[in-house]
Amino acid sequence: MKFAKLMLVQIVMILISLPTANAGTNDEQQVYQQVQIATDSILAILVDREQSKSVKSDAIFSIANELIDFDLMAKLSIGGSAWKELNPKQKTEYLRLFIERIRSLYLKTMFAYSEQEIIVEKAEQYKPTRIAVSTFIVENNDKIELLYKFYPKEKDQWRAYDIRVDGVSIVQTQRSQFKEMLNACTIDDFLEKIRQSNELIKK
């Protein structure tokens, strides 16, 4: 379990006008089922001994892509002011690098799975247009909470825009690190630093 916790903590440490709708009980059930189905599907892929790691990686990230709004997560992580300063080419490159980064970290964490129990506990509306889903990775008496925070991207389509690992927000951690980097270098240098960091994560 210590290894699994280390991998999740590494995600937090390495990661440097929304639509309106009325949420309700049906939405909570929908989002809960969405996370449960995604979790079950990913676990089924992980324990499949017949598929290659490459095939598994693509399948797992395809599922994650239906669960998480990576573009919004990227924009929230850099912050609105910094995002506006990027030109169209830089925005495209930043989004590509951010998603590549999240993909590598997400898959590294998933492949660290060693048959721990994963429990999707509950979905709870905490704001009119926000739902949080509590998921726990459990081994013996130790457990790690992954709290997925959802918003209504479109009608009847909810997507996670942030994940809290034992109370620590990936978006907030990333934004703090990105702000520090952007204050110390140009945007092009900032993108190059992310590019170099991504290469290290892949190893």
Q: Is residue 14 in some structural domain?
A: no
User: Is residue 15's pLDDT more than 50?
Assistant: no
Q: Which of the pair, 147 or 154, is modelled with greater confidence?
A: 147
Q: What is the reported pLDDT for 25?
A: 62
For residue 90, the cross-strand partners are: none
Separation of CA 73 from chain center: 8
Residue 38 burial class via C-beta count within 10 angstroms: exposed 0-12, middle 13-18, buried 19 and up: buried
pTM: 0.80
pLDDT in tens, 43-97: 899 888 899 999 999 999 899 999 999 999 999 999 999 999 999 999 999 999 9
Q: Is residue 139 in some structural domain?
A: yes
Distances (CA, A) of 74 to 45, 62, 145: 26, 17, 22
Q: Is residue 104 in some structural domain?
A: yes
Q: How many domains does the chain have?
A: 1
Structure tokens at 104: 């590598």
Q: What is the reported pLDDT for 155?
A: 77
What CATH number is attached to the domain comprising 132?
3.10.450.710
Domain of residue 70: give its range. 2-9+19-202
The mean predicted confidence, pLDDT, of the chain is 85
Q: Is residue 85 in some structural domain?
A: yes
* Residue labelled with tokens 């910094």: 82
Alpha-carbon span 203 to 192, nearest angstrom? 17
78, 54, 83, 100: which is closest to 197 by C-alpha? Answer: 100
